[in-house]
Amino acid sequence: MAQDYIVLETENELGRVQLNKTVFSSIAQNVIEEDENVKLADSRTFKNGIVTKIENNSLYLKISIKINHKANVSDVCAQLQNKIFESISYMTELKPESIEIEVVGFIF
């Protein structure tokens, strides 16, 4: 069953931290906006281009993007995956299970 939040493990008994899936979408969106070769695919079909799913306290991202036509697609996708993984891991101390990058077009 899909959830809207993820529970982070805490080291003390003061409480627990729960992060909504929009937090992870926002982090990924910020990383994409910093890259000049990539743009989120925005249309009615793709909504905002980021689908965030949480199942069994694990995070899955599917990101639809457009890439600059002069850029190397596989290099840009690999770098983008790494940057998103590192940003989410650093900011939330959670490691995503999957970050799927889907190229749906090119920027001319």
Domains of the chain: 2-107 (3.30.70.1350)
Model pLDDT, residue 16: 81
- pTM, to two decimals: 0.88
What are residue 67's DSSP bridge partners?
A: 38, 106
Model pLDDT, residue 43: 55
- pLDDT (tens digit, 0 to 9) for every residue of the chain, 108 residues total? 567 888 887 666 778 888 999 999 999 999 999 999 999 987 555 567 899 999 988 999 999 999 999 999 999 999 999 999 999 999 998 999 999 999 999 999
Instruction: For residue 102, give the nearest of 70, 61, 71 by alpha carbon.
Output: 61
- The helix/strand/coil state of 82 is helix
